[in-house]
Amino acid sequence: MSKKRKNMLEMIGIYTIIGIMFVIILYPLLWAFGLSLNPSSGLFGAQMIPDNWSLVHYQWLFFDPRSNYLLWYRNTLVVAVSTSLIATFMVGLTAYAFSRYRFKGRTNGLYAFLLLQMFPVLMGMVALYILLNTVNMLDSLLGLIIIYVGGAIPMNAFLVKGYFDTIPRELDESAKIDGAGHFRIFFTIMLPLAKPILAVVALFNFMAPFMDFLLPRIVLRSPENFTLALGLFNFVNDQFANNFTRFAAGAILIAIPISLVYLFLQRYLISGLTAGATKG
């Protein structure tokens, strides 16, 4: 087999795999969007491209007095933004300490971070519930934020620590000679150089509250405190049972803030993901 023919077959194989993955990803999205435009409420007779499409479900979400969708959206944005900012800052500080300083328990602390990732989140749900109940933070967005931030630190800190390790220590030493303290070095040298990996951490922690259902289900009780995942569940389970088309409309709108944050951080994401994968 000639080299040209071999390269052609390889390219055909690559594009075939990409095409299959594209269909797998795009097909359910098209169905969800089509369902959101379907004026009926059930799945019976639903089409990917409705004959008589309508924006009635989007109008209901935004303007109907019975809808708490905008309230759920606000709650989710508060949790997502707070979790992303606080977790990124805490992860940066933790990773910086483990990367630049030598202290008693440092190695055991790194091992503990890895060990914590080996256990499923479900194992800690009962303990988290009892903890929040003890400090009177059940059914509150603050309690949810604290759990998200705490859960984000171990693995992300280990990842960012690997990135910090690649930054030459000579920069720290030069700054110390010029009289810079620990926090000034962290804020003026380490953070700017670590923007790519911190952008990845920020994006993932921003996305988590939009996608998570189980933790809000355990922590939150009042409908006015629901996040989007928990609120939308009611459309197919509780008050508006089996209203899959309205559920689809609400789910489609979740992509808007995630897409905006992704576009804002995109110049850092590729280098950050690559660095996190190769420099850890």
- 62 within domain boundaries: no
Residues 263 and 141 in one domain: yes
105: left (phi over 0), alpha (psi -120 to 50) or beta: left
pLDDT interval class at 44 (50, 70, 90):
low
The dihedral sign for the CA sequence 249, 250, 255, 256: positive
- What digits encode the pLDDT tens for the residues 142-184? 999 999 998 888 888 888 988 888 888 888 888 888 888 888 8
> Cα–Cα distances in Å, from 109 out to 85, 94, 166, 250?
23, 11, 20, 42
Q: Are residues 209 and 110 in the same domain?
A: yes
Residue 24 lies in a domain: yes
Asked if residue 239 is part of any domain, the answer here is yes
Contact status, residue 117 vs residue 154, Cβ threshold 8 Å: yes
- Residues 102 and 238 placed together within one structural domain of the fold: yes
Same domain assignment for residues 28 and 73: no
Q: Which positions ≥6 away from 118 have C-beta within 8 Å?
A: none
Q: Is residue 113 located within the same domain as residue 144?
A: yes
Q: Are residues 36 and 86 in the same domain?
A: no
Q: Do the domain assignments include residue 63?
A: no
Tell me the two tokens of residue 222.
């009042």
**Mean local confidence (pLDDT), 111-130:** 80
Summarised one tens digit per residue, pLDDT across range 20-39 is 998 888 888 888 888 888 87
Q: Which of 217, 229, 279 is nearest to 258 (CA)?
A: 229
CATH code of the domain covering residue 222: 1.10.3720.10
Instruction: Give the three-state DSSP class for 132.
Output: helix
Q: Is the domain of 175 the same as that of 246?
A: yes
Residues 189 and 171 sit within 8 Å (Cβ to Cβ): yes
Q: What is the C-alpha separation between 88 and 71, in angstroms, rounded?
A: 26
Q: Domain range spanning residue 13?
A: 3-57
- Interatomic CA distance for residues 218 and 139, integer angstroms: 9
User: Is residue 242 included in any domain, yes or no?
Assistant: yes
Q: What is the pLDDT of residue 277?
A: 44
Domain boundary among 37, 57, 77: 57
- pLDDT tens digits for 214-262? 899 989 989 899 999 998 887 777 654 667 888 888 889 998 998 888 8
185 and 116 fall within a common domain: yes
d(CA 53, CA 51): 6
Asked whether residue 142 falls in the same domain as residue 162, the answer is yes
For residue 188, the Cα-to-chain-centroid distance in whole angstroms is: 27
141 with 45, same domain: the answer is: no
Number of domains in the chain: 2
Residue 225's H or E segment, with its range, is none
CA distance 181 to 165: 19
Asked if residue 35 lies in contact with residue 27, where contact means CB atoms within 8 angstroms, the answer is no
**Tens digits of residue pLDDT in 58-94:** 898 899 888 889 999 999 999 999 999 999 999 999 9
Does 48 fall in a domain?
yes
Q: Are residues 48 and 99 in the same domain?
A: no
- Domain membership of residue 114 (yes or no) is yes
The reply to whether 18 and 112 lie within a common domain is no
Residue 160 lies in a domain: yes
pLDDT 10s digits, 198-219: 998 999 999 999 989 989 998 9
Residue 153, class by beta-carbon neighbours within 10 Å (0-12 exposed, 13-18 middle, 19+ buried)?
A: middle
Helix (H) or strand (E) holding 166: none
Least Cα distance to 195 among 265, 246, 243 occurs for 265
